[in-house]
């Protein structure tokens, strides 16, 4: 029996446009300019992660983006007093709460909601009071789903890094784990997003999971843009997701 699939949104993570800028301390390439290109090329939202060490996105990038972007900002942040104040002052439409370690190259695992439920709950309540919709970036682990339900967050983003790194049968097993988790999360009333490590080569099976409404993708799009340009890189990812969804 065929199921009618809804459309799927693409959130463009522009952190690594800023990585290139920070490598030389120049004013270019500008992640805000890239965001405008993304928005006119099929990007449905923009993600910026303001890391505590400011290795790529800077505070002013967030402030400037909010003044000019035609699509919503998904502000990625760790749960710290500064970031909570910053988000509540600037009021992006979305916040995604992530774990953060200074020495990591990228976000390595999902947020341990179960292990810090009280602080996650308080952060969710404060952000919700400011009118912000919160997602928790979590691994496809039933204990984290149970804790997320208790946290008050309306959305989750499933960490797809394990799927992206795996090959062969292990990758098929990861995919099945993510699909089953997405079904359970949706049944529990959560809006389901996913992301991390997704590329043109591995995105289709994830995009076919009907319960997933949004994918957040950055590194592979910025990398691909070196060869085809940013607008084309965004458009081809959106096309790959949409075609997979229809197949
Ligand atoms: N979602 C979250 C929560 C992330 O932390 C990241 C990486 O910053 C992404 C999605 C995007 O991952 P990638 O850059 O590998 O596409």
**Nearest-5° Cα angle at 77, 99 to 26:** 115
Q: In terms of Cα–Cα distance, which of 8, 39, 41 is closest to 242?
A: 8
Count of Cβ atoms closer than 10 Å to residue 126 Cβ: 16
Report whether pLDDT(91) > 70: yes
Of the pLDDT bands very low, low, confident and very high (cuts 50, 70, 90), residue 162 is very high
Q: In terms of Cα–Cα distance, which of 211, 197, 193, 207 is closest to 238?
A: 207
Yes or no: say if 222 and 16 are a contact pair by the CB < 8 Å rule: yes
Give the H/E segment covering residue 134: strand 133-138
CB of 217 sitting under 6 A from ligand 1: yes
As a whole number of angstroms, the distance between CA 143 and CA 94 comes to 24
Yes or no: say if 139 and 157 are a contact pair by the CB < 8 Å rule: no
CB of 161 sitting under 6 A from ligand 1: no
Give the per-residue pLDDT at 106: 65
Report whether pLDDT(86) > 70: yes
Q: Both tokens of residue 187?
A: 């049944």
Residue 216 CA to ligand 1 centre (angstroms): 6
Query: Of 16, 56, 159, 196, which one is the catalytic site residue?
Result: 196
Report whether pLDDT(12) > 80: yes
Of the pLDDT bands very low, low, confident and very high (cuts 50, 70, 90), residue 1 is very low
Nearest CA to ligand 1 atom 4: 196
Arithmetic mean of pLDDT over the chain: 95
Residue 55 CA to ligand 1 centre (angstroms): 15
- Ligand 1 mutation target, pool 77, 101, 157, 196, most atoms within 8 A of CB: 196
CB of 15 sitting under 6 A from ligand 1: yes
- Ligand 1 mutation target, pool 75, 140, 198, 218, most atoms within 8 A of CB: 218
> Is 155 known to be catalytic?
no
Nearest CA to ligand 1 atom 1: 195
SS3 26: coil
Of the pLDDT bands very low, low, confident and very high (cuts 50, 70, 90), residue 98 is very high
User: What's the pTM?
Assistant: 0.95
The predicted-structure confidence for 174-188, as pLDDT tens digits, reads as follows 999 999 999 999 999
Provide the b/e sequence for 1-32 (b: ≥16 CB within 10 Å). Answer: eeeeeeebbbbbbbbbbbbbbeeeeeeebbbb
CB of 202 sitting under 6 A from ligand 1: no
Residue 160 CA to ligand 1 centre (angstroms): 9
Give the per-residue pLDDT at 100: 84
Give the per-residue pLDDT at 101: 74
Cα 141 to Cα 28, 112, 182, 223, distances in angstroms = 40, 10, 11, 30
Query: Of 49, 155, 159, 193, which one is the catalytic site residue?
Result: 49
């Amino acid at each position: 029996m065929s199921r009618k699939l809804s459309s799927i949104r693409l959130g463009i993570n522009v952190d690594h446009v800023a990585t290139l800028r920070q490598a030389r301390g120049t004013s270019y390439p500008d992640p805000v300019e890239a965001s405008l290109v993304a928005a006119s090329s099929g990007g449905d939202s923009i993600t910026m992660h303001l890391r505590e060490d400011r290795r790529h996105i800077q505070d002013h990038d967030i402030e400037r983006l909010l003044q000019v972007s035609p699509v919503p900002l998904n502000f990625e942040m760790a749960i710290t007093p500064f970031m909570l104040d910053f988000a509540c002052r600037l009021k992006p439409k979305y916040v995604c709460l992530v774990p953060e370690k200074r020495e990591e190259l990228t976000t390595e695992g999902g947020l341990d909601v179960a292990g810090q439920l009280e602080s996650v709950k308080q952060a969710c309540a404060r952000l919700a009071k400011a009118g912000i919709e919160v997602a928790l970036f979590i691994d496809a682990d039933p204990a984290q789903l149970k804790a997320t339900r208790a946290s008050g967050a309306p959305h989750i983003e499933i960490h797809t890094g394990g799927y992206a790194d795996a090959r062969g049968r292990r990758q098929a097993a990861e995919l099945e784990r993510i699909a089953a988790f997405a079904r359970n999360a949706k049944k529990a009333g959560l809006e389901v997003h996913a992301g991390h490590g997704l590329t043109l080569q591995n995105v289709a099976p994830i995009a076919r999971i009907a319960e997933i409404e949004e994918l957040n993708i950055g590194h592979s799009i910025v990398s691909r843009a070196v060869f085809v340009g940013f607008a084309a890189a965004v458009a081809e990812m959106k096309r790959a997701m949409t075609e997979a969804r229809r197949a």
